Amino acid sequence: MTAVDTNVLIYAHDPRDNRKQSTALSILSSLTDGALLWQVACGFVASSRKREPFGLAQAQARREIQNL
């Protein structure tokens, strides 16, 4: 089982740094038995409020958590 940090989810949805976004998306796509910790999910949704101007709305962050 592999657990990812909040930053991996944030970088996957933050287009301001292409290198970080690409790395995060690669990590997420390679997971076969990933685990989503409650603290990570909450941190991701909370941080989406700060990143709304960059394209990550809180509603979208919640949908992403549901999909994971």
Task: Convert the pLDDT of each residue in 34-56 to its tens digit.
Answer: 788 999 999 989 888 888 777 77
For residue 5, give the amino acid letter: D
Residue-level pLDDT at 59: 85
Task: Specify the residue for token string 């995060």.
Answer: 24
**Does residue 26 surpass a pLDDT of 90?**
yes
Structure tokens at 17: 């740094």
Q: In whole angstroms, what is the distance from residue 50 CA to residue 7 CA? A: 13
Q: How confident is the model over 2-21, as a mean pLDDT?
A: 92
